[in-house]
Amino acid sequence: MRDAARLGLILAALALGGCQLRPVYAGGSQSAPASLMADIGIAPIPERAGFMVRQALEEQFGRPADAPRYRLEVALDDQISAFGVRGDSSAARERRTLRARFRLVDAATGTVLVDDTAAADAGIDRVSSNFAVVAAETMALERLSIDIARQISARLARYARAAKD
């Protein structure tokens, strides 16, 4: 039985070696994704959700140089929908959905390098306290903003790695 397990591990290692997986950030701060993200300026994003997403993106990318080579444009769609009806006809739950369409643009030429979307949603329990509901909606927006920023960051890192190869 031990020989069969050992043979399985050897075969798995050989199979993974052939798939050519590499860490996206191999090379640390000198990697293609890190270099790209250090050179991205984030265009202003309107409304509260936009402020929160932009703040999360700046945390992911760091502050760009004075004249960044790339510009990230983000358009958000923030929706709250109620569902689940109680006996008094009030909603029992809400779903907050945050969708982002983002474009990475070469600042010098205006060429769109990446045009993609990201989306995240969160469920919110509606309770009798309006304050608690507003606080839950705000916390959901904070989590969704971070999730959207991570999705955008991951997509741009994949683009940078593919462009380098």
pLDDT in tens, 21-31: 555 444 555 56
Query: Per the domain annotation, does 137 fall within a domain?
Result: yes
- Please report, for residues 38, 45, 95, the alpha-carbon distance to residue 78 in angstroms, rounded to integers and kept in the order given: 28, 12, 11
Domain extent, residue 69, equals 27-164
Domains in the chain, number: 1
Continuous H helices in the chain: 2-18, 32-37, 47-61, 130-164
Residue with tokens 């990201």: 118
Please check whether residue 6 lies inside any domain of the structure.
Answer: no
- Angstrom distance (rounded) from CA 148 to CA 76: 10
Average pLDDT, the chain: 83
- Here the CATH number for the domain that contains residue 133 is 3.30.160.150
> Is residue 10 situated within a structural domain?
no
Least confident piece of the model among 70-79, 80-89, 125-134, 136-145: 80-89
Q: Contact 47/79 with Cβ under 8 angstroms?
A: no
Give a yes or no: residue 50 inside a domain: yes
